[in-house]
A and B are shown apart, each in its own frame.
Chain A
Amino acid sequence: MIGTGILKGMAVTARNFVGSYFDEERLITVQYPEERNPLPENYRNFPFLLYDGDDPHAGLRCVACKICEKECPPQCIYIVKSDDKKPDYMGKPQFYPKVFDIDISVCMSCQICVEVCPFEAIKMDKDFELSKRERFNHLLQRKEELSKPNEYYHSICPTEAADVDAKLAAAAEAAAKKKAAAAPAPATPPAPSGSSSASASS
Chain B
Amino acid sequence: MSATVETLEAIERPPVTMGSRLEGELLEVSMGPQHPSTHGVFRMNVALEGEIVRKLKPVFGYLHRNHEKIGENTSYLGSMPYTDRLDYFCSMTNNWAYALSVEKLAGIEVPERAQYLRIILAELTRLQNHASLLGFLLNDMGAWGTPLMYAFREREKILDLFESLSGSRMMCDYMRFGGCRVDADDAWLARARQIVDRFPKFLDEFEELILGNEIVIGRTQNVGKLSADLAISAGITGPMLRACGVNYDVRKVDGYGFYPRFKFRIPLGEHGDTYDRLMMRALEMRESVEILKQALAQIQPGPIVNPKVKIRAFRPPVGEAYGRIEAPKGELGFYLISDGGPNPYRYRVRPPSFINLTVLEDLCLGHTVADVMVILGSVDIVMGEVDR
Contacts and interface: CB of A to CB of B under 8 A. Distances in A.
A40 B77 CA distance: 25
A2 B214 contact: yes
B304 to A, nearest CB: 14
Given A42-B182, A71-B78, A112-B81, A8 B313 contact: no
Interface in B174-213: 181-182, 198, 205, 208-210, 212-213
Interface string A108-150: 1111100110000000100000000000000000000000000
Nearest to B150: A16
B212 A73 contact: no
A194 interface: no
Given A71-B77, A108-B81, A9 B213 contact: yes
Contacts of A184: none
Interface size class of A (residues with CB under 8 A): 20 to 34
A33 interface: no
A4 B217 CA distance: 13
B156 interface: yes
Contacts of A111: 167, 173, 181
Contacts of B166: 42
A88 to B, nearest CB: 20
A67 B310 CA distance: 14
A8 B213 CA distance: 8
A42 B217 contact: no
A14 to B, nearest CB: 11
Interface in B316-362: none
A72 to B, nearest CB: 8
Given A8-B212, A71-B75, A110-B80, A42 B164 contact: yes
A13 interface: yes
Q: How large is the interface on B (under 10, 10 to 19, 20 to 34, 35 or more residues)?
A: 35 or more
B82 interface: yes
Contacts of B13: none
A25 interface: yes
A91 interface: no
Contacts of A182: none
A73 B79 contact: yes
Interface string A163-202: 0000000000000000000000000000000000110000
Nearest to B78: A73
B74 interface: yes
Contact of A6 (B81, B213, B311): B213
B252 to A, nearest CB: 33
Interface of A: 2-6, 8-9, 11-13, 15-16, 25-26, 28, 40-44, 67, 71-73, 108-112, 115-116, 124, 197-198
17 contacts: A2-B214, A5-B214, A5-B217, A8-B209, A9-B208, A9-B213, A12-B209, A13-B146, A44-B167, A67-B312, A73-B74, A73-B79, A109-B168, A110-B81, A111-B167, A116-B312, A198-B313
Interface of B: 74-75, 77-82, 85, 146, 150, 153, 156-157, 160, 163-168, 171, 173, 181-182, 198, 205, 208-210, 212-217, 311-313
Given A112-B80, A115-B311, 14 more contacts: A5-B213, A5-B214, A9-B213, A15-B205, A16-B205, A40-B167, A42-B182, A67-B312, A71-B312, A73-B81, A73-B82, A115-B181, A197-B313, A198-B313
